[in-house]
Structure 1
Amino acid sequence: MSKQKAIISPIILRVKAFIIDIFLISMPLLYCTTYLILNGKDDFQHNQLAIFIVWIIYGVITSIFYSLKAQTPGYKASEIYLINLKTGKKVSFLRAFFRYILFIISCAFVVGFLVCFFRKDRLNLHDVLTKTAPVKRKFKNDIN
């Protein structure tokens, strides 16, 4: 069996994973909220509390995925794992949820979203603050 080493995941793979997660996790939540709980798109657009709750539930679901398997469906499709930089193991639910909250805040301020393009290790602001890293396994015998 080859020895495994983790490397920071490329930015493009993280974007791909995020898009997959948006479609697989948030779209069903948005659809159910819009058409099963509320009375259509007009009610949804005028109900800021419902929108807020959907995104909190999305954060809880992704945090559960990270704490149980270290992967969301998008991370699994991209073969990425979220690890704690201190221990090298999967993150706790609270750390994952705090990471999600920081992600929302850093996206609100564009600077936080662009930090990964200016750092040598390519970590985002929410990863730096929570000491987490999206990694891709690299096998000892890999050429790349």
Structure 2
Amino acid sequence: MNISSQTKYATFPQRLFAFNIDFLVFLVTAVLLSFLIKDDYWFWGILFSLVCVYHAAFESSGWQATFGKKYANILVVNELGRRLTFFQALLRIITKYLSLLLFFGGFFMIYFRKDRRGLHDVLVKTYVVNRSN
């Protein structure tokens, strides 16, 4: 797959739907972790690490998607339309936190840009596209 004018980019609602599914995965994970880890510092550190590894591992896998993205029928590709490396996927999830620090501004870019890229996608040179491309 190559990124072209014919590429169908994932819409903001598709990406939000996928996020909500992944959020449920982490909500369950957080509840289970809370029974095992009583110290807040360790709890949040481990949960943050799990979120990063989850996204990086799945988005750099053959699926090219987390559970939420797979269910939403979207996937993450690099600027050549190929699978991300683990490092690219890890950098992508870490840069999402920059959007949080900017009061979600980096996520709102998805809604307004023609290529539906958020700040993290622009910085890491990735695209989220429909699986049917």
* Structure 2 length-normalised TM: 0.85
Q: Does 1:103 align with 2:104?
A: no
Q: Which of 71, 74, 79 lines up with 1:77 in the alignment?
A: 71
The one-letter amino acid of 1:113's match is F
Structure 2: stretches of 5+ with no match in the other structure: 1-5
Q: Does 1:117 align with 2:118?
A: no
What's the counterpart of residue 3 of structure 2? none
Answer whether contact 1:6 1:137 (CA < 8 A) is retained: no
What's the counterpart of residue 34 of structure 1? 34
Q: Size of the alignment, in residue pairs?
A: 126
The one-letter amino acid of 1:132's match is T
In the TM superposition, 1:1-144 aligns within 5 A as 6-24=7-25, 26-38=26-38, 47-68=40-61, 69-85=63-79, 87-110=80-103, 111-138=105-132
Give a deviation string over 1:34-70, Cα, whole Å, max 9, x none. Answer: 01232xxxx5xxx134213202211111110011120
Answer whether contact 2:64 2:84 (CA < 8 A) is retained: yes
SS of 1:82's equivalent in the other structure is strand
Runs of 4+ deviating beyond 3 Å = none
* Structure 1 length-normalised TM: 0.79
1:138 CA displacement? 4.2
Q: 2: CA distance between counterparts of 1:7 and 1:132?
A: 14
1:113 CA displacement? 2.6
SS of 1:8's equivalent in the other structure is coil
The one-letter amino acid of 1:10's match is T
SS of 1:29's equivalent in the other structure is helix
The one-letter amino acid of 2:11's match is P
**Higher strand fraction: Structure 1 or Structure 2?**
1
Larger Rg: 1
The one-letter amino acid of 2:71's match is A
Answer whether contact 2:7 2:129 (CA < 8 A) is retained: yes
